[in-house]
Amino acid sequence: MSEIAKNVARVEERIAAACRRAGHRREDVRLVAVSKTVPPERIREAYDAGLRHFGENRVQEAERKLPALRELDITWHMIGHLQTNKARSARALFNWIESLDSLRLAEKLDRAPQASRELESPLPVLIEVNLGGEASKSGVDESAALDLGRAISSLPNLSLRGLMTVPPVTDDPEGARPYFARLRELARVIDSARLPNVRMGELSMGMSHDFEVAIEEGATLVRVGSAIFGERM
């Protein structure tokens, strides 16, 4: 068994245990393997270990790597900050945009041509929320999320599915729990606005050190990098 396959098995066990503790079904949580900085041959090892969802945070890196993996049945998630001038390329590469953080970007994505028949239309998107109000992080303020959701709701080629967050770093994974609970509550508030073409069922939260806490708080997408691929250089 490769090191990556062992890591995937270990992460799977941790996800299953968290689901049992929280009373969630395993199929309610999708594991997104964060493959930024990881070369295609190692991504393929994770694929061979059974993973089908992968996340990248840079358009240019994805443009370099994805062609080598084209024949694989992978759902690609964009999880990093996206500049509006990269919207067109991102639309052509990714199945999901998890890091939507402005109306301008939403409008660009909405108007970008559908490059491939394999990509879903309308494009599934998540609003990234900067819950910690950290200047170093992207994402909209909590107070702006509902208005952005309302604006996305009227864009015909985007489908708002939920929220994503990267909470402030804490040594103890428990430190992230209040942020995860707030993201869940914010999704509930937006959902109760009953916006047309909007379903707020997805919560993308939790990384290698805190995904179990995130699952306990209702994560449907966990973004796990180093626990699968090892520490990044």
Ligand X SMILES: *Cc1c(COP(=O)(O)O)cnc(C)c1O
Binding site for ligand X (CB under 6 A): 34, 36, 57, 79-80, 166, 207-208, 223-227
Least distance in Å: CB of 213 to ligand X? 13
Helix (H, G, I), strand (E, B) or coil at 52: coil
List of E strands, the chain: 30-34, 53-56, 75-78, 96-100, 123-129, 158-165, 198-204, 221-224
Instruction: Pick between residue 57 and residue 130 the one whose CB is nearest to ligand X.
Output: 57
166/203 with CB nearer ligand X: 166
Minimum CB distance to ligand X, residue 18 (Å): 15
Q: Which DSSP string do the residues of 118-161 spell out, in sequence order?
A: TS-SSEEEEEEE-TT--TTS-SB-GGGHHHHHHHHHT-TTEEEE
Nearer to ligand X, 123 or 219 (CB): 219
Distances (CA, A) of 146 to 104, 123, 152, 180, 202: 16, 19, 10, 17, 15
Q: What is the dihedral of CA 44, 46, 52, 56, to 10 degrees?
A: -80
**Rounded to the nearest whole angstrom, what is the least distance from the CB of residue 233 to ligand X in the complex?**
12
Shortest-Cβ-distance residue relative to ligand X: 225
Q: Closer to ligand X by CB, 98 or 142: give it.
A: 98
Q: Between residues 79 and 109, which has the closer beta carbon with respect to ligand X?
A: 79
CB of 178 to ligand X, least distance (A): 19
How near is the Cβ of 14 to ligand X at its closest, in Å? 12
Sorted by sequence, the CB contacts under 8 Å of residue 58 that are 6+ apart come out as 36, 80
